[in-house]
């Protein structure tokens, strides 16, 4: 198995400018024909085409049929050693979509044919240079039975459509924009079609088509409206307009990722399209809007300008996540969406940096590209883009983006190209900043403040250090934008942005009348771990007064972390959670901030994963026990305050709307504490019974589950009963079973595998049961008898031959075995070694397992 290195990049030896691609659809014998115009770029080179799981039927070159001595066929492709400089190549292959359970290439999602070609799936459809820097104009012909497949879709514009006397339909599509093959898409099926239109800023009328399962049309409306909001937003914020006359989105039930930005024909996991109040939560609505936005924004950042090679993935993904985050912030609560993004970085991304899979946002070495669609490439990548915007300011950042897109339109570009455009547009030297692309790891930022009352000088000393990571021993000082707010006793305040460029630097502020409380890393201005000496009084003051909601939340997170640590070290809960604190929390519940959701966040304890990242060796039991005793203590101390708050809050009819989402967040926070006390069972039961929307229903289920309430099993069973017909809602039920901290979870998971909605072939189902268990049930996953690890091991073993991309995702929690105590280390290692010993491990799984073994 050969890993590729970023430095080995070579420009394509041949380019293919146009291709006629024809499909004769059949579930086990689809015929695909490609007619390609090939041009030599490198003298003397052999033509190498990627191809996997393909049956070669015929090849002709300039009309001459080639026999086997003219080419070499292997499991990975086709080599033609001697070809002219310019020629027409015609290849016919056969594939079996029905047997394609990896869900890469052309496969069947139920009765629908669909494709997923990113990153390297096109090679399962046709022999082709499957790399993003070969851009080609496609004309696609699809033939299938007209009755069974009323819709035959591909990228671009439909140019012909007819049905012959036998009922065979032939549809042709032409995409005028040259594109890499990973953006090719095909869909054939029967759907409900929801349509709308969008008038672009320059007055063009774009037809919008959303294809969903029969009977689900009403659940598609929100996604369609979100699409229109995204189109308008990109015009207003970045002056970017859509470029085809039609934009199609298809929802399918079997999909490895969230969604895919294929030019003019997005394919979505139905989980990120379908929503109504009864079956979707506020979180689902949020995700749908942001992913619809994300895939739409790719049309410029990804499609018009694509990646030269897959090492550059963050070029499009980091940038597009940043764009979808900005969109979400503008559509709803900027504070809440930022808090969610920060939580993800602090839990999953910090964990990845500390794991054997650590990599920079632009990886150096890749065996299986699918393993690098990571929280580092995506979300840390987005943080890097955000830092650029913070450094340059919004306006120069926007000019830089405009220059980048203008300069590289129609090209396959690199991260260096992006940085160069930003630099040229802003005049800012980004040499040091560019280190963020090549250096992995999480910097630790240590800050000190010193105030001299005589000279009125405030000295701030900042020190950064990045520890070695699994992939990289030495680290350099990074450029860190540190946004700071100074809070003075007279309620005045001052803002400042420092750029830390050295390992250690001192910033001296003159004429500071009195010593301020310093709010560090406002809005999480850099993805670092902060060590600061703020007192608990300072933290509570920041939580009450900082002008940035994220900073307020962050101060409380630091406060809670400290108290949790104290309890872990043996302090009694009642000495740690002081009467003063309880009084303050009471006050917040009585008079919640204008932003009710922020109040809820202030009262939410950091989660297990975030706390875990604060320790080199993760003290699983101590963290869990401190969390639960503090939660119980707060529930007791604030029992009336929670009930009162619940009564004071309105309960508006369900709409997905910012104020209402905030009300629900705070109501649900109250319920999550109240569930700790059996005396409130009646209240919780009432809430469950009266809930007329999925958000409220799930909130009660989660509150009772996490509290270990006796109510939970009966509510859960009722929920499963009620929703057994709806696979997407059953995913919530599967996750509720799998994240139950009770010992009965194993029996529950075993039973759910027999449920008629469960299928090993459906990634959503597998993730709902097994990722939920291994990533969100630390009590049971990390059991000291190893049962949790064994359960995951069995699932991975079963899944790998079916769907390697998903099985490799499942293994993630085991990779970090070095972070645990000796007993757990051994148990996790045993599981990994059993995996490593299996024959026929997929590349996906092999890469991760082998990187993690000693
Ligand atoms: N479909 C995935 C995404 O949009 C990969 N491009 O992030
Ligand atoms: Zn993306």
Residue 522 near residue 509 (C-beta atoms within 8 A): no
Separation CA 412–CA 420 (nearest Å): 15
Q: Which residues are catalytic?
A: 295
Residue 556 lies in a domain: no
Contacts of 718 (CB under 8 A, 6+ apart): none
Of 398, 415, 438, the position where a domain reaches its end is 438
Same domain for 470 and 397? no
> What pLDDT digit, counting tens, does each position of 65-85 carry?
999 999 999 999 999 999 999
Residue 543 lies in a domain: no
Same domain for 464 and 415? no
Q: Give 478's DSSP letter.
A: P
- Nearest-atom index, ligand 1, CA of 295: 4
Residue 849 lies in a domain: yes
Ligand 1 centroid to residue 122 C-alpha, Å: 15
Same domain for 419 and 447? no
Share of the chain above pLDDT 90, in %: 99
Same domain for 311 and 410? yes
Q: What is the mean pLDDT of residues 356-369?
A: 98
Average pLDDT taken over every residue of the chain? 98
Predicted complex ipTM exceeds 0.90: yes
Which residues are found with C-beta within 5 Å of the ion, ligand 2?
A: 317, 320
Q: Is 261 in the pocket of ligand 1 (CB under 6 A)?
A: yes
Q: Copy the structure tokens of residue 244.
A: 């085809």
Q: Is 260 in the pocket of ligand 1 (CB under 6 A)?
A: yes
| pLDDT confidence of residue 593 | 78
Of 384, 407, 438, the position where a domain reaches its end is 438
Which residue's CA is minimally distant from atom 3 of ligand 1? 260
Q: Is 829 in the pocket of ligand 1 (CB under 6 A)?
A: no
> What pLDDT digit, counting tens, does each position of 34-55 carry?
999 999 999 999 999 999 999 9
Q: How many domains does the chain have?
A: 3
Residue 846 belongs to domain spanning: 724-854
Q: 592 falls in which pLDDT band (50, 70, 90)?
A: confident
584 has pLDDT over 90: yes
CATH of the domain at 848: 1.25.50.10
Which residue's CA is minimally distant from atom 5 of ligand 1? 260
Whole-structure pTM value: 0.99
Hey, which of 122, 373, 378 would you mutate to test ligand 1's pocket, going by the most ligand atoms within 8 Å of its Cβ? Answer: 373
Which ligand has an atom closest to residue 183 CA?
Answer: 1
> What pLDDT digit, counting tens, does each position of 748-801 carry?
999 999 999 999 999 999 999 999 999 999 999 999 999 999 999 999 999 999
Which residue's CA is minimally distant from atom 1 of ligand 1? 260
Q: Report DSSP letters for 594-631, one per residue.
A: SSHHHHHHHTSPPPHHHHHTT-SS--HHHHHHHHHHHH
Residue 733 near residue 318 (C-beta atoms within 8 A): no
Q: What is the mean pLDDT of residues 143-158?
A: 98
Residue 112 near residue 82 (C-beta atoms within 8 A): no
Which residue's CA is minimally distant from atom 7 of ligand 1? 317
Q: Where are the beta strands (DSSP E) in 510-625?
A: 517-519, 529-531
Which residue's CA is minimally distant from atom 2 of ligand 1? 260
> What pLDDT digit, counting tens, does each position of 187-240 carry?
999 999 999 999 999 999 999 999 999 999 999 999 999 999 999 999 999 999
Same domain for 507 and 391? no
Same domain for 764 and 800? yes
Residue 483 near residue 522 (C-beta atoms within 8 A): yes
Burial of 215 (0-12, 13-18, 19+ CB in 10 A): exposed
| pLDDT confidence of residue 57 | 98
CB atoms within 10 A of CB 226: 22
Same domain for 433 and 451? no
Of 386, 416, 438, the position where a domain reaches its end is 438
Separation CA 755–CA 730 (nearest Å): 10
Share of the chain above pLDDT 70, in %: 100
Same domain for 737 and 829? yes
Which ligand has an atom closest to residue 324 CA?
Answer: 2
CATH of the domain at 356: 1.10.390.10
Same domain for 386 and 508? no
| pLDDT confidence of residue 545 | 95
Q: 594 falls in which pLDDT band (50, 70, 90)?
A: confident
Same domain for 431 and 458? no
Nearest Cα residue to 91 out of 68, 66, 116: 66
Same domain for 820 and 777? yes
- Nearest-atom index, ligand 1, CA of 298: 4
């Amino acid at each position: 198995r050969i890993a590729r290195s970023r430095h080995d990049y070579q420009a394509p030896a041949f380019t293919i400018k146009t291709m006629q691609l024809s499909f004769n659809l059949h579930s086990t014998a689809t015929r695909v024909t490609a007619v390609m115009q090939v041009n030599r770029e490198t003298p003397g080179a052999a033509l190498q085409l990627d191809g996997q799981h393909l049956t070669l039927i015929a090849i002709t070159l300039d009309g001459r049929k080639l026999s086997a001595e003219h080419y070499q066929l292997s499991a990975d492709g086709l080599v033609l050693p001697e070809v002219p400089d310019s020629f027409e190549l015609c290849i016919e292959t056969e594939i079996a979509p029905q047997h394609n359970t990896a869900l890469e290439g052309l496969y069947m999602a139920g009765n629908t044919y669909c494709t997923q070609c990113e990153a390297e799936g096109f090679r399962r459809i046709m022999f082709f240079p499957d790399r993003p820097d070969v851009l080609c104009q496609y004309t696609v012909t699809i033939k299938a039975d007209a009755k069974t497949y009323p819709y035959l879709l591909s990228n671009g514009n439909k140019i012909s459509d007819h049905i012959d006397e036998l009922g065979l339909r032939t549809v042709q599509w032409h995409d005028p924009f040259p594109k890499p093959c990973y953006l090719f898409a095909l869909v054939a099926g029967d759907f409900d079609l929801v349509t709308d239109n969008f008038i672009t800023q320059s007055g063009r009328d774009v037809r919008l088509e959303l294809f969903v399962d029969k009977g689900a049309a009403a659940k598609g409306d929100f996604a369609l409206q979100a699409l229109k909001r995204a189109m308008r937003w990109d015009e207003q914020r970045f002056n970017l307009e859509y470029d085809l006359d039609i934009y199609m989105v298809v929802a399918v039930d079997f999909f490895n990722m969230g969604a895919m930005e294929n030019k003019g024909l997005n394919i979505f996991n139905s989980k990120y399209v379908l929503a109504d109040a009864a079956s979707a939560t506020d979180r689902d609505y949020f995700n749908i809007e942001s992913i619809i936005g994300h895939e739409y924004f790719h049309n410029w950042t990804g499609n018009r300008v694509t990646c030269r090679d897959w090492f550059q993935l963050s070029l499009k993904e980091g940038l597009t996540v940043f764009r979808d985050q900005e969109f979400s912030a503008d559509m709803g609560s900027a504070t809440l969406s930022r808090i969610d993004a920060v939580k993800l970085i602090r839990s999953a991304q910090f964990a990845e940096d500390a794991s054997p899979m650590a990599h920079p946002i632009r990886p150096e070495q890749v065996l299986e590209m699918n393993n690098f669609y990571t929280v580092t490439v995506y979300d840390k990548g987005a943080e890097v883009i955000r830092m650029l915007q913070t450094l340059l300011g919004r306006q120069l950042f926007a000019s830089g983006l405009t220059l980048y897109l203008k300069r590289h339109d129609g090209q396959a570009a690199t991260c260096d190209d992006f940085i160069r455009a930003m630099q040229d547009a802003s005049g800012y030297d980004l040499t040091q900043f560019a280190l963020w692309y090549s250096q992995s790891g999480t910097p630790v930022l240590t800050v000190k403040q010193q105030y001299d009352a005589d000279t009125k000088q405030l000295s701030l000393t900042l020190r950064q250090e990045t520890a070695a990571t699994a992939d990289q021993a030495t680290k350099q000082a990074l450029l860190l934008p540190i946004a700071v707010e100074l809070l003075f006793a007279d309620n005045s305040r001052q803002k400042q942005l420092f750029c830390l460029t050295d390992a250690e630097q001192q910033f001296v502020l003159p004429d500071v009348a009195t010593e301020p409380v310093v709010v560090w890393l406002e809005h999480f201005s850099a993805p670092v771990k902060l060590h600061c000496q703020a007192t608990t009084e300072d933290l509570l003051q920041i939580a009450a007064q900082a002008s940035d909601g994220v900073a307020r939340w962050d101060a409380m997170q630091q406060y809670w972390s400290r108290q949790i640590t104290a309890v872990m070290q043996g302090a009694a809960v009642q000495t740690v959670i002081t009467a003063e604190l309880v009084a303050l929390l009471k006050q917040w519940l009585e008079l919640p901030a204008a932003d009710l959701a922020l109040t809820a966040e202030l009262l939410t304890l950091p989660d297990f994963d975030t706390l875990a990242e604060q320790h080199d060796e993760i003290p699983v039991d101590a963290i869990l026990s401190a969390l639960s005793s503090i939660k119980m203590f707060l529930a007791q101390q604030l029992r009336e305050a929670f009930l009162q708050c619940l009564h004071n809050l309105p309960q508006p009819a369900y709409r997905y709307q910012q104020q209402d989402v905030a009300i629900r967040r705070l109501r649900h926070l109250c319920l999550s504490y109240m569930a700790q006390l059996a005396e409130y069972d009646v209240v919780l039961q009432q809430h469950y019974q009266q809930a007329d929307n999925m958000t409220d229903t799930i909130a009660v289920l989660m509150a009772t589950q996490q509290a270990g309430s006796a109510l939970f099993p009966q509510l859960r069973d009722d929920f499963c009963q009620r929703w057994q017909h709806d696979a997407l809602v059953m995913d919530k039920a599967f996750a509720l079973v799998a994240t139950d901290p009770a010992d009965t979870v194993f029996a529950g998971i075993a039973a759910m595998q027999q449920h008629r909605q469960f299928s090993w072939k459906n990634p959503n189902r597998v993730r709902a049961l097994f990722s939920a268990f291994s990533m969100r049930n630390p009590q049971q996953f990390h059991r000291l008898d190893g049962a949790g690890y064994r359960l995951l091991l069995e699932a991975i073993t079963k899944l790998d031959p079916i769907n390697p991309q998903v099985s490799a995702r499942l293994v993630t929690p085991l990779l970090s075995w070095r972070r645990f105590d000796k007993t757990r280390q051994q148990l996790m290692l045993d599981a990994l070694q059993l995996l490593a010993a299996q024959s026929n491990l997929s590349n996906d799984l092999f890469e991760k397992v082998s990187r993690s073994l000693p």
